[in-house]
Structure 1
Amino acid sequence: MSDPHILLSGEALALAMPRQDMLPKYHAWENDPGTISGYGNQWAQSWEVRAAGYERQRGNERFQQFEVVRLDDGTPVGMTILEVNTYVRTAEFVMVLAPEERGKGYAAEAARLTLDWAFHLAHLRMVWLKVLEPNAAGASAYEKAGFRPGGRLRRSGYWLGKPVDELLMDAVPEDFPGTSAVATALGS
């Protein structure tokens, strides 16, 4: 495995460039039953589809991917993605954590670092996400990162085979909590 190329460091985590040699691990995380359930999917994705998707995505400026790396040992713990709408300067936020890294408090810091990048480097006006209503831990982590409740899509998702509401959350630069890692890195 290649060494991570760190882009932005936080307290315990960093955002790094995605690595092609990590694609099998990303694929395994995305096909974990907990990930599939959390996204409300019903099907796993084949290796061929994922590998082809990586090739299409890596040169796409509208699909910004970050590997989330633990700073103390360089271990990758997840991915965050900004699906950018360049016309209106907004993005949808998506995150997946490695199954063995869930429940360790990484979601809030990974989301916050991604918002920091989105607002202070990409100059986006707003970032939004959808989270299934039963995923209270996810919603709480997103709120800690700076997202605010924005609405709901009734019965638009599935949780353990049952229709559930998806909660919409959004963040604007004014919602960004605390000190920016971007500003710190730039000495501002």
Structure 2
Amino acid sequence: MEPAISTGTEPIIWIRDNTCGLGPYRADLVETYWRWEQDPAVLVGYGRQQPESLEARTEGMARQLRGDNIRFTVYEFAGDGAVPVGVATLLPDPAVRTAEYVVMLAPEARGRGLGTAATRLVLDYAFHITDLRMVWLKVLAPNSPAVRAYEQAGFRTVGALREAGYWLERICDEVVMDALAAEFTGPSAVTPLMTE
């Protein structure tokens, strides 16, 4: 695990559970985000075939920071600090109070339940703070670890886009999943904050 990025103060954490937390998307982490995005597993998982230059990513960061999407840095609580380990994004459609969900974890953060925990926190935020009624996502069908993580966080499979993606040079389906506010159950990291 790489050391925490320090700006002289602890990172801002908006909501958290015992495993991880969500804070603001940060311009000073652009090179870290870029490194994660160029990982071969991420390129395959997103169905992309080519990497992006750091210069192009830096230019795109300025647009992302000004956009209407809801972006989070995902932090793992390790030792005495919070270590950035991923990015989660909600792409809202305010007219119908829904959003598409996208998440990416650093290679060193995978396989420990952080994707499920972060996804659950994003759904909690989406339903209790942003007041969305539904969040949806697409995942390549062969990516069964991601499908399981999304299911554990509260998503359900609702269909597929046939032959819409690529997985290791092979055409594959994209699974479409959704989560509804009305079905979001279990403990909330947000609602206790409202009663304090």
What residue in structure 2 maps to residue 117 of structure 1? 125
Match of 1:93 among 76, 91, 101: 101
Percent of matched pairs sharing the same residue: 44
Match of 1:70 among 64, 70, 76: 76
What residue in structure 2 maps to residue 15 of structure 1? 22
**CA shift at 1:185, angstroms?**
2.0
CA contact (8 A) 2:93 2:99 kept: yes
Q: Distance in 2 between matches of 1:49 and 1:150?
A: 35
**CA shift at 1:59, angstroms?**
2.0
CA contact (8 A) 1:109 1:145 kept: yes
Root-mean-square deviation over aligned CA pairs: 1.2
TM-score by length of 2: 0.92
* Length, aligned pairs only: 187
What residue in structure 2 maps to residue 164 of structure 1? 172
CA contact (8 A) 1:8 1:181 kept: yes
> Unpaired segments of 5 or more residues in structure 2?
none
1:6 has 2:32 as partner: no
CA contact (8 A) 2:133 2:182 kept: no
CA contact (8 A) 1:130 1:169 kept: yes
Dislocated runs of 4+, deviation >6 Å: none
CA contact (8 A) 1:145 1:177 kept: no
CA deviation profile, 1:118-149 (whole Å, cap 9, x unmatched): 01000011100001111111011101111111
**CA shift at 1:57, angstroms?**
1.3
TM-score by length of 1: 0.95
> How does 1:1-188 map onto structure 2 within 5 Å?
1=5, 2=7, 3-61=10-68, 63-72=69-78, 73-187=81-195
